[in-house]
Amino acid sequence: MEIIKYTEEWKDSWDKFVLQSNNGTMFHLQKFFDYHEPGKFSFNHLMFLEKNEIVAVLPGAIVGNKFESPVGASYGSIVTKDIKFNTALYLVESLINYSRKNGIKELELTAPPVVYEDKPNQNLDFAMLWCGFKYSLHYISSAIKLEPGKDIIERFSPTIRRNVRKSLKDKEIRVEINQKYDEFYPILVKNKARHNVKPTHNYRDLIRLNELLPENLKLFMVYYKNIPIAGSLMFFVNKTCALCFYNMLLYEYQDLKPIQRIMYEVVKYSTENGYSYVDIGVSQDTSAENPMTPSPGLIEFKEKFDAKTVMRNTLHLIL
């Protein structure tokens, strides 16, 4: 096996491999990285080859003398097919040997939660731990398991069920999937400002992502008397999992419970379109000094939609 740096002529092969992989997501696609302004990041993506065929890919960058993955994305780490343990061990050992030869002193890899995998397979995680990696960070995320042919509403808490059904009966409330980012983004910015933060993406970023990956982005909007009052931007990251990346709410209409309605619509759509999970995002207290600090209120709110905790783990190795 050899490890080589990614170059542009491999773009189609890279993306084809990710789409056919067991654990790859839209965040691993070269098409996704194209949304960044040229020069914003100095990427150092790696490919694992056998007989000039890709057997694994690792997006990321070298920062100082540390290889980080992801860089410029939500998730990274090694992308593979549904591999056996010996292959996983060989991949990790090859990465460590490559790093030593190329002056890399640290590796820091954050993979998607296991629910993003087509066939749950933790061979790679165990191989990394066996080879000396340690967990350096855990985030709580909340995922809803979908059941084909079943209406999710029966699994919601009684209060959520009542509010959703009331919303469904209100003829002045409607939900549609559209591309009206000009309506969505200003309210999102105001919502984030309440917590002294800014969205990860600027308006141009979202437009660019929508152009590059139109099948992966779906914007759900709630309207009351034709006024946009809430929205959810969904990233359908692979064939297994949908990720609720942004929610926004016009707070003067919060008594209509539009977020609860949009959660119902998102989960219903994802179920009908064959997804296995909806990830409704991490629940950390962003104001806390320790980045792992949980937000109990946010976690409890998500549990009302029958969401269960899945962890987003970062593995770290000092060579």
Element holding 23 (H helix, E strand):
none
Q: What is the pLDDT of residues 306-317, one digit of tens each?
A: 999 999 999 999
Q: Is 9 exposed, middle or buried (0-12, 13-18, 19+ CB in 10 A)?
A: exposed
User: How many structural domains does the chain have?
Assistant: 2
Q: What angle do CA 64, 67, 68 make, to 5 degrees?
A: 105
How far is the C-alpha of 252 from the C-alpha of 25, rounded, in Å?
A: 36
* Alpha-carbon gap, residue 277 to 144, rounded angstroms: 5
Instruction: Decide if 11 contacts 30 (C-beta within 8 A).
Output: yes
Q: What CATH number is associated with residue 92?
A: 3.40.630.30
Exposed/middle/buried for 194, CB within 10 Å: 0-12, 13-18, 19+? exposed
DSSP state of 294: B
Confirm if 189 and 198 have CB atoms less than 8 A apart: yes
What is the pLDDT, as a whole number, of residue 196?
86
| Residue 319 placed within a domain | no
Classify burial at 189, counting beta carbons within 10 Å of its beta carbon; exposed 0-12, middle 13-18, buried 19 or more: middle
Residue 175 resides in a domain: yes
CA distance 66 to 319: 10
On whether residue 90 sits in a domain, the answer given is: yes
Provide the domain limits for residue 34. Answer: 2-132
Whether residue 127 sits in one domain with residue 147: no
Does the residue 316 lie in any domain?
A: no
186 lies in the same domain as 303: yes
- Residue 187 domain flag: yes
Which pLDDT score is estimated for 95?
A: 98
Peptide bond into 70 cis (omega under 30): yes
Same domain, 41 and 189: no
Note the pLDDT of residue 244: 97
CB of 234 closer than 8 Å to CB of 220: yes
The pLDDT value recorded for residue 288 is 85
Q: Are residues 75 and 29 in the same domain?
A: yes
Residue 251, token pair as written in the block:
């707070």
Same domain, 123 and 151: no
How many DSSP H helices and E strands does the chain contain?
Answer: 9, 13
- 274: region left, alpha or beta (phi > 0 left; psi from -120 to 50 alpha): left
- Judgement on whether residues 244 and 284 belong to the same structural domain of the protein: yes
Residue 113: its pLDDT value, please? 96
Mark the ranges of the chain whose per-residue pLDDT is less than 70.
none
Is the domain of 124 the same as that of 225?
no
Q: SS3 helix, strand, coil % of the chain, rounded to 5?
A: 35, 30, 35
**Same structural domain for residues 171 and 292?**
yes
**Residue 224 CB partners (closer than 8 Å, separation 6+):** 172, 173, 253, 256, 258
In a domain, residue 233? The reply is yes
- Mark which of 132, 157, 192 sits at the end of a domain: 132
Give the domain-ending residue among 104, 132, 160. Answer: 132
In a domain, 317, yes or no: no
Q: Which two tokens stand for residue 208?
A: 């660019």
Cβ(286)–Cβ(197) below 8 Å: yes
Please report the pLDDT score of residue 304 as a whole number. 96
Give the phi and the psi of residue 80 in degrees, each rounded to 5.
-140, 170
Q: Are residues 152 and 290 in the same domain?
A: yes
Domain boundary among 80, 109, 132: 132
Same domain, 125 and 253: no
* 152 and 21 share one domain: no
**Same-domain status, 151 and 99:** no
Instruction: Please name every residue paired with 315 in a beta bridge, in sequence order, or none if there are none.
Output: 109, 135
pLDDT the model gives residue 126: 97
Distances (CA, A) of 67 to 70, 95, 105, 161, 273: 9, 11, 8, 46, 37
